[in-house]
A and B are shown apart, each in its own frame.
Chain A
Amino acid sequence: MRAIGLLLWKDVVVELRAKELVYATIFFGAVVILVFCFAFLGGPKPTVDVAAGVLWVAITLAGTVGISRAFEREREGDTMRALLLAPVPRSALYLSKLSAISLLMVIVETVALLLVSLLFGIPIGGILPSLVALLFLGTIGFAAVAALFGASLGRARSRDVLLPLLVYPIVVPVLIAGTRGTVALLVGAEPAVASFWLKFLLVFDAVFVSLGVWVFEPLVAGDA
């Protein structure tokens, strides 16, 4: 835990200095939402299904931009190598990156949620706790997969292209669960429906975080 905290502290301090990832991901997420908003301009008012879909697509796309840059930063000065040389369990490296990515995405999600609520005219006040839980679990699931591939792509030449190609197919269940769960909350469906998607995300997170902890070492070690 000490190592995870230390590595997370480092990521937070570096980002506070650079302010590059937060601005880039927030801006990208906002642009995606605005593009969708303009696409529906002049037509009938978009349904909550559309708003929920836009929210989760924006989060996923913005998250990928942030993750790609977060690992690029570790390649400057070859600091990933320095971390692999350090006497900390490789699982701590994985969990710290997962935490840092999640933290970044939480900030992006806050802005994205407000924008979607405003632009699509959807009140979220009454369902906020459940929506936050849904977003949190979805974020962990996405970050668990993205951190794994982000690190393992290492020095691959086409890593910026490969990252979304590898991550998106695997996080499709997160997108579906997040969108369906959000729709269920927005239309006031039976609590059991949203609860089902929350449990689904919880299982997804458990599986992929465990998998990440297990396979991170062989993926990044060996010929680092």
Chain B
Amino acid sequence: MTFDTVDARGLTKVYGRQRALAGVDLTLRAGEATALLGPNGAGKSTLVGILATLVSPTAGSVRYGASGGGVSGGGASSVASDDAELADDELRGAIGVIAHESHCYGDLTGHENLVFFARLYGVADARATADALIARVGLRDAARRPARTYSRGMLQRLAVARALVHKPRLLLADEPFTGLDRAGVALLSELLAEERARGCIMVVVTHDFDAVAPLIDRVVVLARGRIAHDAAAPAQRSTAALADVYRAAVQS
């Protein structure tokens, strides 16, 4: 499945009495890296969950380009294909998620984890893809060790490789720099830049302005479930400029 835009309209999510999102409109485009910023509890992870198809919106809808499927609120599900399940599966196959947790099995080696997920996503040459990716993220020496023996930073590198193993169309990275050392941050920045150059639609949720500032094309700030700022990234791709945008948006 290929799609060039992700179009969210009126996304609202309510958990009990808590309103996590309140009518979010957002359009994401191919080859564009968006920083999704906001204070704790602003609704960032909920928005990522909805875009990843893991969370159903209470109201509103998401359309994945002209040829893609879609999810909508109120329990209804609208998909472009005649075969709803096939469309859902295909849609999920085009999405990559880097989450707070590694999403990897501790009793499998790093290499086995990647081969397993590559096969699950129908990657043609799973073993070769896993070999290449594990070397790319700097885990070649630890590839045959169980993932449970990895340090936090190594697990994060494996999580990044797992999210990229099927070359996703939409990459949702929720705090991807967590646990990484300076070399890891540099490597991840490089990988994300490559994904953007490949035409991937990218959303990076982070509080690490240093790491994300040089990468992004656009800044979206969420506050209290609403979009407080949505504009191109500051011309000066600096931490200070990004921090100014964030501060102004959150205080407004």
State whether B89 touches A14 (Cβ < 8 A). no
State whether B146 touches A17 (Cβ < 8 A). yes
Taking the complex as formed, is B102 at the interface, i.e. its CB lies under 8 A from any CB of chain A?
yes
Binds A, one of B24-32, B52-60, B129-137, B223-231: B52-60
Known: A6-B120, A87-B93, A224-B55. A79 touches B104 (CB 8 A): yes
State whether A89 touches B106 (Cβ < 8 A). no
Tell which of A3, A14, A17, A87 touches B92, judged by Cβ atoms closer than 8 Å.
A87
State whether B108 touches A14 (Cβ < 8 A). yes
Taking the complex as formed, is A199 at the interface, i.e. its CB lies under 8 A from any CB of chain B?
no
Taking the complex as formed, is B209 at the interface, i.e. its CB lies under 8 A from any CB of chain A?
no
Taking the complex as formed, is B95 at the interface, i.e. its CB lies under 8 A from any CB of chain A?
yes
Interface residues of A in 9-37 (CB under 8 A from B): 10, 13-14, 17-18
Question: In chain B, what residue has the closest Cβ to A74?
Answer: B105
Interface residue range, chain B: 35 or more
A223–B119 CA distance with the chains assembled, in angstroms: 26
The contact string, 1 if C-beta is below 8 Å from chain B, for chain A 80-98, is: 0111111111000000000
Taking the complex as formed, is B217 at the interface, i.e. its CB lies under 8 A from any CB of chain A?
no
Question: In chain A, what residue has the closest Cβ to B90?
Answer: A87
A180–B105 CA distance with the chains assembled, in angstroms: 41
Known: A3-B120, A85-B95, A87-B122. A222 touches B103 (CB 8 A): no
State whether A85 touches B102 (Cβ < 8 A). no
Question: Which of chain B's residues have a CB closer than 8 A to the CB of A221?
Answer: 54, 56
Taking the complex as formed, is A44 at the interface, i.e. its CB lies under 8 A from any CB of chain B?
no
Question: Which of chain B's residues have a CB closer than 8 A to the CB of A76?
Answer: 106
Best-surrounded residue of A6, A13, A82, A221 (most CB of chain B within 10 A): A82
Question: Which of chain A's residues have a CB closer than 8 A to the CB of B93?
Answer: 86-87
State whether B117 touches A82 (Cβ < 8 A). yes
State whether A77 touches B103 (Cβ < 8 A). yes
State whether A222 touches B107 (Cβ < 8 A). no
A168 CB to closest chain B CB (Å) equals 30
State whether A85 touches B105 (Cβ < 8 A). no
A83–B92 CA distance with the chains assembled, in angstroms: 10
Known: A10-B105, A77-B104, A77-B106. A85 touches B54 (CB 8 A): yes
- A-B contacts counted at CB < 8 A amount to 80
A79–B120 CA distance with the chains assembled, in angstroms: 13
A77–B90 CA distance with the chains assembled, in angstroms: 24
The contact string, 1 if C-beta is below 8 Å from chain B, for chain A 190-224, is: 00000000000000000000000000000001111
Question: Which of chain B's residues have a CB closer than 8 A to the CB of A88?
Answer: 89, 120
State whether A17 touches B107 (Cβ < 8 A). yes
Question: Which of chain A's residues have a CB closer than 8 A to the CB of B108?
Answer: 10, 13-14, 17
The contact string, 1 if C-beta is below 8 Å from chain B, for chain A 94-133, is: 0000000000000000000000000000000000000000
Best-surrounded residue of B54, B95, B104, B105 (most CB of chain A within 10 A): B105
Question: In chain B, what residue has the closest Cβ to A83?
Answer: B120
Known: A76-B106, A77-B104. A86 touches B120 (CB 8 A): yes
State whether A81 touches B99 (Cβ < 8 A). yes
A178 CB to closest chain B CB (Å) equals 32
Known: A14-B105, A77-B102, A79-B103. A222 touches B117 (CB 8 A): no
Tell which of B49, B56, B89, B119 touches A89, judged by Cβ atoms closer than 8 Å.
B89
State whether A78 touches B116 (Cβ < 8 A). no
Interface residues of B in 153-182 (CB under 8 A from A): 162
A143–B95 CA distance with the chains assembled, in angstroms: 31
Question: In chain A, what residue has the closest Cβ to B46?
Answer: A223
Taking the complex as formed, is B85 at the interface, i.e. its CB lies under 8 A from any CB of chain A?
yes
A26–B89 CA distance with the chains assembled, in angstroms: 37
The contact string, 1 if C-beta is below 8 Å from chain A, for chain B 82-100, is: 0001000111110101011
A residues sitting closer than 8 Å to B (CB atoms) are 3, 6-7, 10, 13-14, 17-18, 76-79, 81-89, 221-224
CB-defined A-B contacts under 8 Å, sample of 10: A6-B119, A6-B120, A77-B102, A85-B97, A85-B103, A87-B122, A221-B54, A223-B15, A223-B49, A223-B55
